[in-house]
Amino acid sequence: MSYIRLISTADCSNCENIVLLAFPSDSELLSAHLKPDEHLFLKKALQRGVTSCCFPQTDRIVFVCFLDEAIEASEGVRLEKARQTASQLLRDIRHYKLDAVGIVSYCPHAITLAFLEGLVLSTYQFTRHYSQPEKRAAWPSRIYWICDAAPTETVHALNALIEAVFLTRDLVNEPHSHLDTLRFVEAVCAAAERYGFSAQALEAETIQQLGMGGLLAVGRASEMPPQFCILEWKPTLPRNKRPIVLVGKGIVYDTGGLSLKTPEAMEIMKCDMAGAAAVLGIFCAVAQTRLPIHLIGLLPITDNKVGSRSLVPGDVIRMYSGTTVEVTNTDAEGRLILADALHYAKRYDPELVLDIATLTGAAVRALGHHAICYMGTAEPLIKQALETSGMRTYERLVELPLWEEYGEDLKSNVADLKNMGHGPAGMITAGKFLQHFTDYPWLHLDIAGPAYLRAPNGYRPKDGTGVGVRLLFDFLQNYPH
């Protein structure tokens, strides 16, 4: 994995090409970097509503970006506009094939950092499977923040977060031919060793002894044995009295089982482990920044294949909790492996549990690719903090209800529960199913919409986006305790 690291410096001698970032009202401040005729052109362009200019000079190129300073916009919208402006700027930087570029900002640090975040996130590429990946590398190779008093810790945290997002994107983009169950576990253990948190993998024999019937049933037709990874980051003086547990869905490939998916849907099913990848990314960012939060990660990992041993619609399985489940649809497999993990989380007496999963097509139909469906039993203060993080990172959330009536659709004539309802609101009935396995403050995040894009959206690339990493890292940084 390679990525562009943001470098903060007060010296611009290493970087001839610069980007001037300012609000329109501060345009006079840019005169020190421009020739008189360029500054005059810039002022006239502003009058016409132009918000960006490029001035190729003899020995360098100067880009000018003006950000909207409308005070009526929310903080989240202003930060997102800065990220999107940076993403647009990257096209111009690449047009000129610049190896390095420095950012000189006259905006507040928060706006500048959002701009830098959008710029560096936009540089992501997944090229490892080309025969000559080095020829696919795109400019720039270095980005500098030219600032006399750059907040060093904040820059370090931003670099750590971007590295974690890129790791998550790489895992989601990796084809199943190169990332099966065991290779995913290897990637988890390698990340733990590199970043300094602990990782333990329970193998199939232990999973069988524990009686994790959901995980075992989903992986029954696979040639690869299921795995259950346990991650932990435990600093010396954590802010939380009891651990926060993150649970990530780790279906490395999903055919739908005997409830077979369509070819179009199956094309992208390497992404069905995006929840588990996001949890791993969060641990990498938390450990790099040494965040004082005691964190547990639970990753049930397997694939959902078709074979002679496949789970059959109508089968009844016994979950790790002892609950019996009638499997009416084998493509509703994610909730089966999550349910075992959610029950396992009880042994930690958790302060809060969040699960994150590409769980339902219903979530995509409800909100498209612009938001995360979420629901749960955590207190309003926690939900408000999560939604605030969602707006700040622009990984926005929409809360859905968990009314008792939705549970009616999960009643079975032959077992304690069905794994899938037959009516609308499938993302809610999936949440109701998961709720059955919890007895602690809990939130469920269905990221099926924004986790994998068919077309790029600014600094969010086509394919894996790494959604959830920035959201939950911000949430943990600002965790109300």
The percent of the chain in helix, strand and coil, each rounded to the nearest 5, is 40, 20, 40
Question: Pick from 406, 332, 348, 396: which is nearest to 368 by CA?
Answer: 396
Q: Is 394 left (phi over 0), alpha (psi -120 to 50) or beta?
A: left
pLDDT digit string (tens) for 75-99?
999 999 999 999 999 999 999 988 8
Helix (H, G, I), strand (E, B) or coil at 297: strand
Q: Is 220 a catalytic residue?
A: no
Rounded to whole angstroms, how far apart are CA atoms 152 and 219?
46
Residue 135's pLDDT is 79
Rounded to whole angstroms, how far apart are CA atoms 474 and 459?
18
Catalytic member of 78, 249, 305, 335 = 335
Residue 152's pLDDT is 85
476 has a pLDDT exceeding 90: yes
Q: Is 335 a catalytic residue?
A: yes
pTM: 0.96
DSSP E strands, 23-106: 52-56, 61-66, 100-105
Please state, as a whole number, how many other Cβ atoms lie within 10 Å of the Cβ of residue 388.
16
Q: Are 57 and 35 in contact (CB under 8 A)?
A: yes
Which residues does residue 6 pair with via DSSP β-bridges, in sequence order?
Answer: 143
Q: How confident is the model at residue 150 (pLDDT cuts 50, 70, 90)?
A: confident
Cβ neighbourhood burial of 381 (10 Å; 0-12, 13-18, 19+): exposed
Percent of the chain with pLDDT over 70: 98
- The whole-number average pLDDT for the span 382-410 is 97
Element (H, E) at 6: strand 6-9
Domains, the chain, with CATH or none: 6-150 (3.40.220.10), 160-477 (3.40.630.10)
- The whole-number average pLDDT for the span 209-234 is 98
Rounded to whole angstroms, how far apart are CA atoms 126 and 137?
10
Residue 354 carries which side chain, given as an amino acid letter? L
Q: Are 22 and 33 in contact (CB under 8 A)?
A: no
- The whole-number average pLDDT for the span 328-332 is 98
Rounded to whole angstroms, how far apart are CA atoms 165 and 178?
20
Rounded to whole angstroms, how far apart are CA atoms 394 and 391?
5
Residue with tokens 């496949």: 310
pLDDT digit string (tens) for 3-41?
667 787 766 655 679 999 999 999 999 998 899 999 999
Catalytic member of 5, 43, 261, 318 = 261
